[in-house]
Structure 1
Amino acid sequence: MEHKPDEELTVDQLAAKVGMTVRNVRAYAGRGLIPPPRLVGRTGYYGQDHVARLTLVRELLEKGYTLAAVERMLGELPDGALALGVFETLVNPWTPAEPEVLDERQLAERAGVPHDPAVIARLVELGIAERIDADRLRIPNPDLLRTGLEVIKLGVPLDAILEMLPRLFTQADAVAKTYVELFRSTVWRDFTKAGMPADGWPEIQRTLEGIIPLAGQALVAAFREAMAREIELVAYEELGVAPDGLPSTG
């Protein structure tokens, strides 16, 4: 039987809905991760706020956060599904592709290179792959891997790509911090100064959801301009070709 969005649930129904055991639900309740249920006699009834919080707990644990970290993060949230929606936006980044599982030889075949355990170890060290067992790998960001494989097919040596990736990650982190700090020092600061009013949470969530793709678009636009400048500079240094002598890319 399906439950209506506003229907209350028993602990067994709640556990089934969020994909947990009743034992875990009771344990998380005991740690204060969800508020107490509404009691009718000796039976507790849970609502959608409980569902939202436990779903978030499960997602955070699946992402590798410790239970202590989850307690700390949820402890800083005000009650209510609106605040949880904002927090879910924060902890579920804009990742268009689901993780992928490959064995080591499949990965080597895709790259068009011989299987090399040292290369696999380096990919794991960089976080591009996560080892599941002796042969299988989990790829958290298949888009990143796919892009790297395409660059290899263009003739760039694998070693050069692996050497470049840490710098790329550092630069991506710097850009992300710039946008997050922009949000934190403007929209979020004004919201907290106003006392985090309940009717302001939807606008906060809309801003967060909108700023991620816009940040990506701005980054691509700035990158295209920077790449054009770098190509002109290298063409002049390597070939002596003045910028106005390059073919137009417009």
Structure 2
Amino acid sequence: MTTGIQYFKPAEIADLAGADVIRMPENGGKASALMAGLEHARSLGVMAAVMMDADGQHDPAEIPAVAAPVLAGEADLVIGSRFLDKKAKVPAYRRLGQEVLTLATTVGSACPTTDSQSGFRALSRKALANLDFASEGYAIESDMIAHFASRGLRIKEVPISVRYDVPNQHKMNPLSHGFGVLATIVGLIGYKRPLLSFGIPGFLLAGVGVSAGIYTFSSFYETSQFHYIIFTLGFSALFLGLLLMTTGLILNSLVQIMRSTGARREVGA
């Protein structure tokens, strides 16, 4: 017995609604799909392109508010922040995870935000013309901020609401998802700011090593007892710290050379 009910796939529903549907030949992940959609928007010459997550957490009625700064010429990237408005009810564990990722993104991009992982955004024509960066999976939000900030694009946040009682929630476990994005951001920090990612830990380790050495020899002078374990650990920390600082200096020099080479190419072009 048939019920006569016909089921449609999301792409078919979008087609029936009159949307331009981009079909990917294979599943390349979130970043690949978003880039394809934004590139299509750029080819259409739109004044603003809005992106939002498809799990129903965002309210489409807030699209005008998110796009407004772009249309007014005040920003090139507008991020809908769940943390600017206290009315947005975000579970404590999600808030903690988001704050960790936002802090890491701020360190890596030198661009402070309150909600770096928000998928509700609006991009200007200038932003659409500067999508020449590589990104994979769910780290595209952080990669976008870092890339646009390095290009001097204007980034702004506006408050949005959010809901988590949706039927089609995120397929990935929040913990594994968060660690995956964090790992990518840490890699970004190492690439963009090697002195920060290698130099500071190296300096701290070297300080621990020097302190351990001072303690060891001071104790030997006072008690005639030599703490071999503390000395060995301190020497190891000093050696590793100096190695990290040297690595940071070398990588920073390479980054500066790459930046100056890229700048000369842009001037030549």
Work out whether the TM-score is over 0.5. Answer: no
**Greater helix proportion:** 1
Q: Which TM-score applies when normalising by structure 2?
A: 0.25
